Amino acid sequence: MSKLPTYGISFKNNLKLQTPSKIGGLKYSTKPKSSFSTKDEINRRINSSKNININDYVFIKTTNQKGTVRYIGETKFKTGIWVGVELDKRGVGKNNGTVMGVTYFKCPPLTGIFIPVTAVEKLSGDQGNDIVSEVSTISTKKLD
């Protein structure tokens, strides 16, 4: 039996197929990372940037609107921490708390809006009460 000439690359008979996670001694995770964080991590990130909670009365800096917080957390439609707000005025929002088939909260049509947590400012109890008392005063004022 004649031996074949060996040129170029030679192979060992007992080669093992190595996964990319073990090549070069480095270990890489081959598991896909989740786009959602744990509830504790979300709460920590929210509380570290803002002290906003569900049912807080807020001012939305980007739209100059006010409303009540109905949702805080991550969404499937965009990354980051989002605040779902039920606006005071009906018909000026973008949704009813449902976006792309996922319901995050419920409110009347075109009354809900999602805003990045950085664009929402919590109003103190006094600021919210002032607005309510102004409306009450106006609505109970006698017209001449």
Size of the chain, expressed as the number of residues it contains: 144
Check whether 127 has a pLDDT greater than 90.
no
Tell me whether residue 71 is in a domain: yes
Domain count, the chain: 1
Q: What is the mean pLDDT of the chain?
A: 73
CATH number (domain holding residue 122): 2.30.30.190
Q: Residue 48's Cα: distance from chain center in Å? A: 15
Q: Is residue 19 part of a domain?
A: no
Q: Is residue 27 part of a domain?
A: no
Evaluate whether residue 20 is within a structural domain. Answer: no
pLDDT digits (tens, 9 = 90+) for 2-48: 665 555 555 455 545 444 444 444 444 444 444 555 666 655 555 55
Note whether residue 95 is domain-resident.
yes
- Per residue in 51-101, pLDDT (tens digit) is 899 999 999 999 999 999 999 999 999 999 999 999 999 999 999 999 999
Q: How far is CA 136 from the centre of its chain?
A: 35
* 66: in domain: yes
Residue 1 pLDDT: 59
User: What residues make up the domain containing 76?
Assistant: 52-140
